[in-house]
Amino acid sequence: MASSDPYKDINNIIKIAFIVALILGSYNLWSFFNSSRYQALCGASFWELNRPELESCLDQKKELDK
């Protein structure tokens, strides 16, 4: 059951690949900035901290914003 238009199939594959790349790129950008913020505030990565440590970092940020 091949499609009658192979160019349409290739175009759809390219669109899907572009959307996946855009989603992954956005996640990587978010992860970089999020990790950088916690690294600067607490000296640890966002992914290494547990919930109380994250809240402590956010409290430090609130104190700096005053």
CA distance 28 to 20: 12
Helix (H, G, I), strand (E, B) or coil at 45: coil
Q: Which pLDDT score is estimated for 5?
A: 85
Give, as one character, the DSSP assignment of residue 49: -
CA distance 9 to 57: 49
pTM as predicted: 0.58
CA distance 42 to 58: 10
Q: Which pLDDT score is estimated for 3?
A: 57
Q: What is the pLDDT of residues 6-62, one digit of tens each?
A: 889 999 999 999 999 999 999 999 888 877 877 887 888 777 888 998 888 888 888
